[in-house]
């Protein structure tokens, strides 16, 4: 009992000293390497832990070992929550990178940069939105424009029944006729472009939509570095 009271007294004296330091250093704006705001936030969190710990000790005062275990559990939970909130943006970046590796086509967004991982087939799958509808694409720097499959164009709400397939293009299977359109909005990650020229393939002519140069040429920059494709949008 005496040991617990001594520990509580030390903690309370420490909190009191921290408050005194906070008052003294308020005008300077910093306490060591922390701002006064961050220091005050830290002191508040410690005070909350003390209150919670004290409540647990009181509840289990006849079972001290149980009380210590419960208090430690609450301390760990509180620290995890504080660390999770403090590094929430880093955690999101890490999760995006993991998804990009495990699910090719998923965009890992870092500010104005969007990153994709190369698939096992060697291509860069890209999950895009065309006129607000999801369209799976692959990067094709040899295509002068975006090329949508007939099915993707239909899903994007384009009037494919009224299109004239009069534009000749070279494909891996030879020449094919496509229809020229202008897409209202193309979104890749957090990069959005409007009024983007594109071509629509005839039914059965194309297996996967292609993200070509009509989109890439509008970016602030893009590059392939190893197994990573990085696109940079304008601010």
Angle among Cα 15, 18, 21 to the nearest 5 degrees reads: 155
- Per 3-state DSSP, what percentage of the chain is helix, strand, and coil (rounded to 5)? 40, 30, 30
What percent of the chain has pLDDT above 70?
Answer: 54
Q: Which residue has the tokens 């001290």?
A: 64
226 in the same domain as 111: yes
CATH code where residue 185 lies: 2.40.70.10
Q: Are 49 and 158 contained in the same domain?
A: no
Nearest to 130 by CA among 221, 215, 202, 217: 215
- pLDDT-based confidence at residue 150 (cuts at 50, 70, 90): very high
Chain-centroid distance, C-alpha 200: 31
Please, which residues bridge with residue 187 across strands?
129, 192
Q: What is the pLDDT of residues 173-229, one digit of tens each?
A: 667 889 999 999 999 989 999 999 999 999 888 889 999 999 999 999 999 988 889
Closest residue by Cα to residue 186 from 160, 159, 156: 156
CA nearest 101: which of 227, 209, 185, 220? 227
Contacts of 21 (CB under 8 A, 6+ apart): 31, 39
Shared domain check, 160 and 71: no
Could you tell me if 124 and 228 lie in one domain?
yes
**Same domain as 120, residue 78:** no
In the 3-class helix/strand/coil scheme, how is 177-223 assigned residue by residue? Answer: EEEEEEEEEEEECCEEEEEEEEEEECCCCCCCEEECHHHHCCCCEEE
pLDDT at residue 21, rounded to an integer: 67
Tally of domains in the chain: 2
Instruction: Examine residue 139 and state whether it is found in any structural domain, yes or no.
Output: yes
Residues 145 and 76 in one domain: no
Task: Give 99-109 pLDDT, tens digit per residue.
Answer: 545 555 778 88
Whole-Å CA distances, 5 to 12, 64, 179: 10, 13, 82
- d(C-alpha 50, C-alpha 71), whole Å: 9
Q: Which range has the top average pLDDT, 5-19, 97-111, 119-133, 157-171? A: 119-133
């Amino acid at each position: 009992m005496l040991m617990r009271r001594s520990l509580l007294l030390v903690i309370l004296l420490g909190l009191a000293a921290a408050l005194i330091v906070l008052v003294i250093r308020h005008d300077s704006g910093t306490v060591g390497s922390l701002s006064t705001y961050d220091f005050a936030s830290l002191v508040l969190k410690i005070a909350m832990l003390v209150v919670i710990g004290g409540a647990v000790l009181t509840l289990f005062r006849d079972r001290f070992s149980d009380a210590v275990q419960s208090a430690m559990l609450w301390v760990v939970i509180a620290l995890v929550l504080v660390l999770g909130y403090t590094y929430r943006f880093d955690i999101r970046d890490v999760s995006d990178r993991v998804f990009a590796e495990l699910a090719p086509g998923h965009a890992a967004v870092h500010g104005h940069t969007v990153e994709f991982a190369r698939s096992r087939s060697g291509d860069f799958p890209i999950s895009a939105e065309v006129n607000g509808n999801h369209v799976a694409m692959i990067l094709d720097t040899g295509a002068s424009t975006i090329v949508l499959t007939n099915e993707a164009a239909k899903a994007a709400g384009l009037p494919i029944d009224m299109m004239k397939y009069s534009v000749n293009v070279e494909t891996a299977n030879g020449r094919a006729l496509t229809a020229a359109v202008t897409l209202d909005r193309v979104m890749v990650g957090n990069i959005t472009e409007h009024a983007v020229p594109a071509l629509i393939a005839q039914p059965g002519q194309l297996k996967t939509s292609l993200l070509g140069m009509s989109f890439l040429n509008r970016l602030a920059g893009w590059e392939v570095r190893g197994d990573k494709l990085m696109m940079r949008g304008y601010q």
